[in-house]
Amino acid sequence: MYKAGNFIKSMTTSSDKKIAVGHVSKTDGFERTILARSVQDKFAEVAEKYKDTLKPETTKVAMK
């Protein structure tokens, strides 16, 4: 189960909906102490590319 996460950036879809982008830092099974900035940036880039394909009820996307 998700327990904690870290915010990377916010993005806005073409329908003006705000989406938070982040990564999971702790679950029942693992704890991530660090995630390279380059990996965070790449994930944010991919999320931005697909932001308009997300379900309307989506408010957050996170990399586990």
> Range of 17's domain?
2-63
Q: Kindly tell me if the per-residue pLDDT of 2 is higher than 70.
A: no
CB 22 within 8 A of CB 43: no
Number of domain units in the chain: 1
Does residue 47 carry a pLDDT above 90?
yes
Residue 3 pLDDT greater than 80, yes or no: no
The mean pLDDT of 37-64, rounded to a whole number, is 95
4-40 tens-digit pLDDT: 789 999 999 999 999 999 999 888 888 888 899 999 9
Cβ neighbours of residue 2 closer than 8 Å, sequence gap 6 or more: 24, 26, 27, 62, 64
Name the residue with higher pLDDT: 32 or 52. Answer: 52
